[in-house]
Chains A and B, each alone.
Chain A
Amino acid sequence: MSDKTNIILNINGRDHAISVESRRTLADAIREECGQTGTHIGCEHGVCGACTVLVNGEPVRSCLMFAQQAAGKPIRTVEGLAKGDEMHPMQRAFMENHGLQCGFCTPGFLMLAVGVLEREPEISDENLIDVLSSNLCRCTGYQNIIKAVRAAAIEMRQS
């Protein structure tokens, strides 16, 4: 299984030339080969959503995608949300609404919410909760996450 292929992963606008086995997951490649450890791995079977990143603008569970499948496609991770010192409205909203405690699921929720709101800024509340129910959090009880995403949605629509 150690035949490796050279690929390029474009993460947050930067190319990473890496060499991976065909079975290497995108989550592992982002974290290990590209050193971007903000993307977390919670279950490796595609249920918890902690590893959610954006590939071609779509939320993807990076534990269920092979690195090679993402070669050459634009990938966005939590590290790419802030512009320098300035946090993304979603990050700010999580802070202001106490939408995180241990912070482990947070990057996955941020990417899921940003991805969905960029594609569907006017998403209904019903659908928003439906989308957010695809990721698991074990600390917050979700209420503050929902509040944060609603607040960020308003701000994102205005900008």
Chain B
Amino acid sequence: MSEAKTQQKLVGRSVARKEDGPLLRGQGRFAADVNFPNQLHMRVVRSTYAHGKILSVDLAPALAIPGVHAAWAFADVADIPPIDFRLTKLEQLAAYRQTILAKDRVRYVGDPVAVVFADDPYLAEDAAEHVVVEIEELPVVLHADGETGEFRDGLSTEPAIIRKGYGNVDAAFDNAYATVSLSLSIGRHSGVPMETRGAIGRYIAVTDMLEMYGAAKVPHWNRDQIAKMFGRPPASVNLFEGHVGGGFGVRGELYPEDVLVCLAAMRLGRPVKWIEDRREHLISTNHSRQQTHRIRAAIDRDGRILAIDDEFFHDQGGYMRTHAATVPDLAAAMLPGPYRVPAYRAIGHIRLTNKTPGGTYRAPGRYESTFVRERLLDAIAAETGVDGIEIRRRNLIDKSEMPVTRALETLGTDIVLDSGDYVRLLDKALNGVSWTELQAQLKQRRQAGELVGAGVAMFVEKSGLGPFDDVRITVSTKGLVEVVTGAASVGQGVETVIAQICADTLGVGYDIVNVIHGQTDRIGRGLGAFASRVTVMTGEAARLAATKLRDKVLATAAELMQLPADGLDIVDGEIVRSDSSAGPSMSLAEIATALAPGAKFLGEREPGLFAEASFESHHMTYPYGVHVAVVRLARDTGAIDIERYLVAYDVGKAVNPMLVEGQIVGGVAQGIGGALYEDFTYDDRGEPLSVTFADYLMPTAREVPHVDVIISEDAPSPLNPMGLKGAGEGGTNAVGAAVAAAIDDALGQPGAITQLPVSPQMIKAILKSRG
């Protein structure tokens, strides 16, 4: 008997990305690369006031310019309803939604007031400057934690309060050994992908089909919404995702401009293209993060948490957009993190201000609440005189307690921490930086006069949001495999990961697997790419579909080869005997040919070699991580240099460790931005001061240190057979918390850092105040 062939496993290996070739050759197809004959270009006229009453909009001067074909203000689009909520709807928020053009008030600098359509984008920009908008300025609200104001029609700028919690919080505080209280704030920053937004609308009269190109993140949901807003059947609208230049939560939500290009394509009978410029992006694409928290913990004599009580203010900006209450809801629901919190109360005030509206950004609500919670743990350590690591150990949920049901709910799911060994990961992280030696070195350096310190932060993430995902796999008569998914990609490597899973299950190479995503005309439903869900949900759906397909292939081969199906295997696209390399074999192409329409073998069978599967999941999976930061402060300038950074992250099962590491390191860079550099600031009239990359500072190759990554697989999720958890947000989550702790340590001043981002000026002020 000769040795049987076996398929080399792909899942778990760092194979090269399928996506890279075209992107490296300049053959990408991003939104701005999409062009149609006879297209018009749209330019948005935006409010230059943060808050005001629209007195008049005069479109005539723009319309008088040759080459300008149309211009609209609110009256022209008054029949289109405001943009609805996608997640975390609350009834009382409905009145705060944004219309596609401002009705009678503007609520932030950048609020779309009018649009012009011209033959050429330069001309459209010229014409937009000729639209005369008269606005009577109104008083602005710029602080979410200050006085409320009027949104409009007597509505308050506090539309809703999120309340979450369990247990008897007041009793816990009454009986506590000590109480620790903090006031903390997180600045306003956002995803800011390198590709600005873009949308191209096209209407095909002969089939009454409306199309939008430049879709991302949630194409199916947006398709249904656009159809609903225009009163069209969903089947008469299709969205197409091309290459997407980064998403991070902000791109792909339904924005006014997406609806406007579609409406214009129908009304004007020509394709309409809109590409956002960077200034527009910084004042009109979702902002995120900005919150202030007043948090306190009740503790016992050993520093164990008895209760946490948090009241926070969430700065939502001008309107409630598609995410509705998502970010404050997640902040409140995820705040307890990896610790035992016997009693808990969170009250989150959603506040409208006269700034760019907010939405989610990578680790939404968790970047904020991890900063707050970990500052609290550090404060408990300082209060009790117990080392911060030891305080965390005393409060961490033990592996033996898993799964842990928290009496909290978010994103329509109950929070059940599915699996985790938090203590073990903490040890891995500490070993990864040789914590004891590191502490000794830092102490020595501090004695020599350096301002250096280390900080640790822990967190629980969430991923794999359901409730479903579908996959359809088809094999062509050439033996090529096509996987159609309802997922989307924002550049994170979806095609590679799904191809790896499918190839392993089916028994083929991943190079012959073509993964389709973000095309609403190819699959009926799909939830897209957000909340670190794609690998978990689409990955498992792909595995299920590939398993079905494999069974079909083997059953067909068994008949054709006159061998029992259970004695066959598929190796590199060949159906072979599983017990020997001798004997007959067939190719996948031959099986597909045997089942092709009109083939003799077919008989009563359904033609085609394909399989479909859905994966349903009603609970999220919960990856968890530890960040360690080492910083050095410059005494003279206050400059903050991150010398060293480590992330340990447990993802249950890493399909492609290289891509997981890529997600983590990229996430850290964004987290550093929010911790040290990025801040959307406003003057006291609400004029945005961060409107170019010269004022909105993102980290460069100089500011991002080497990041050590420990990918851990100690706690596979019990919710899916591969044990998958999402990896997209763990790199970002705890950066603010870890960096703040490290700066405290460098200053030798526990609790010094109470707000993000930390600027050199702040460090200088702290140093100066100490004399």
Contacts of B667 in A (CB 8 A): 141
Contacts of B659 in A (CB 8 A): 98
Contact between B24 and A42, CB atoms less than 8 A apart: no
Contact between B694 and A102, CB atoms less than 8 A apart: no
Q: Does B207 interact with chain A (Cβ within 8 Å)?
A: no
Residue-wise, chain B 15-28 has the 8 Å CB interface mask toward A (1 for contact) of: 01101110111111
Q: Does B194 interact with chain A (Cβ within 8 Å)?
A: yes
Contacts of B704 in A (CB 8 A): 141-143
Q: Does A79 interact with chain B (Cβ within 8 Å)?
A: yes
Contact between B30 and A104, CB atoms less than 8 A apart: yes
Question: How near does chain B come to A33, taking the closest CB pair, in angstroms?
Answer: 12
Consensus secondary structure, chain B interface: loop
Contacts of A41 in B (CB 8 A): 32
Contact between B669 and A141, CB atoms less than 8 A apart: yes
Contact between B26 and A77, CB atoms less than 8 A apart: yes
Q: Does B246 interact with chain A (Cβ within 8 Å)?
A: yes
Please classify how large the interface on chain B is, using the bins under 10, 10 to 19, 20 to 34, 35 or more: 35 or more
Contact between A95 and B26, CB atoms less than 8 A apart: no
Question: How near does chain B come to A1, taking the closest CB pair, in angstroms?
Answer: 7
Question: How near does chain B come to A82, taking the closest CB pair, in angstroms?
Answer: 6
User: Which one, B23, B26, B277, contacts A36 given CB within 8 A?
Assistant: B26
User: Which one, B26, B196, B692, B731, contacts A78 given CB within 8 A?
Assistant: B26
Within 40-97 of A, Cβ neighbours of B (below 8 Å) are at 40-45, 47-48, 50, 77-79, 81-82, 87, 91, 94-96
Contact between B666 and A101, CB atoms less than 8 A apart: yes
Contacts of B33 in A (CB 8 A): 31, 37
A100 to B706, CA, bound (A): 16
Contacts of A38 in B (CB 8 A): 25-28
Question: How near does chain A come to B169, taking the closest CB pair, in angstroms?
Answer: 39
Q: How many A-B residue contacts, CB cutoff 8 Å?
A: 171
Contact between A144 and B665, CB atoms less than 8 A apart: yes
Contact between B194 and A98, CB atoms less than 8 A apart: no
- For A94, A104, A132, A146, the residue with the greatest tally of chain B CB atoms inside 10 Å of its CB is A104
Given known contacts A142-B700, A145-B701, A102 and B246 CB-to-CB distance under 8 angstroms: yes
Contact between B665 and A138, CB atoms less than 8 A apart: no
Within 489-509 of B, Cβ neighbours of A (below 8 Å) are at 490-493
Size of A's binding interface in residues, CB under 8 A: 56
Contacts of B123 in A (CB 8 A): 2
Q: Does B248 interact with chain A (Cβ within 8 Å)?
A: yes
Q: Does A140 interact with chain B (Cβ within 8 Å)?
A: yes
Contacts of A87 in B (CB 8 A): 24-25
Contacts of A146 in B (CB 8 A): 701
Contact between B20 and A129, CB atoms less than 8 A apart: no
Question: How near does chain A come to B81, taking the closest CB pair, in angstroms?
Answer: 32
Question: How near does chain B come to A49, taking the closest CB pair, in angstroms?
Answer: 10
Contact between A138 and B193, CB atoms less than 8 A apart: yes
Given known contacts A42-B196, A100-B20, A133-B701, A140 and B692 CB-to-CB distance under 8 angstroms: no
Contacts of A103 in B (CB 8 A): 19-20, 23-24, 28, 243, 245, 491
Contact between A42 and B278, CB atoms less than 8 A apart: yes
Contacts of B707 in A (CB 8 A): 141, 143
Contact between A139 and B491, CB atoms less than 8 A apart: yes
Q: Does A137 interact with chain B (Cβ within 8 Å)?
A: yes
Q: Does A107 interact with chain B (Cβ within 8 Å)?
A: yes
Contact between B26 and A39, CB atoms less than 8 A apart: yes
User: Which one, A104, A106, A139, A143, contacts B24 given CB within 8 A?
Assistant: A106
A77 to B29, CA, bound (A): 16
Contacts of A23 in B (CB 8 A): 122
Q: Which residue of A lies closest to B667 (CB)?
A: A141
User: Which one, A40, A47, A95, A104, contacts B17 given CB within 8 A?
Assistant: A95
Contact between A98 and B658, CB atoms less than 8 A apart: yes
Contact between A138 and B24, CB atoms less than 8 A apart: no
User: Which one, B493, B693, B731, contacts A48 given CB within 8 A?
Assistant: B693
Contacts of B666 in A (CB 8 A): 101, 138-141
Q: Which residue of B lies closest to A109 (CB)?
A: B701
Contact residues of B with A, CB < 8 Å? Answer: 16-17, 19-21, 23-30, 32-33, 122-123, 126, 191-196, 243-248, 277-278, 490-493, 658-659, 661-662, 665-670, 692-694, 698, 700-704, 706-707, 731
7 example contacts (A-B, Cβ-Cβ < 8 A) are as follows A42-B195, A42-B278, A50-B194, A98-B17, A106-B23, A133-B701, A139-B246
- What 6 additional pairs, Cβ within 8 angstroms, besides A106-B23, A143-B706? A1-B122, A41-B32, A95-B17, A101-B492, A130-B702, A146-B701
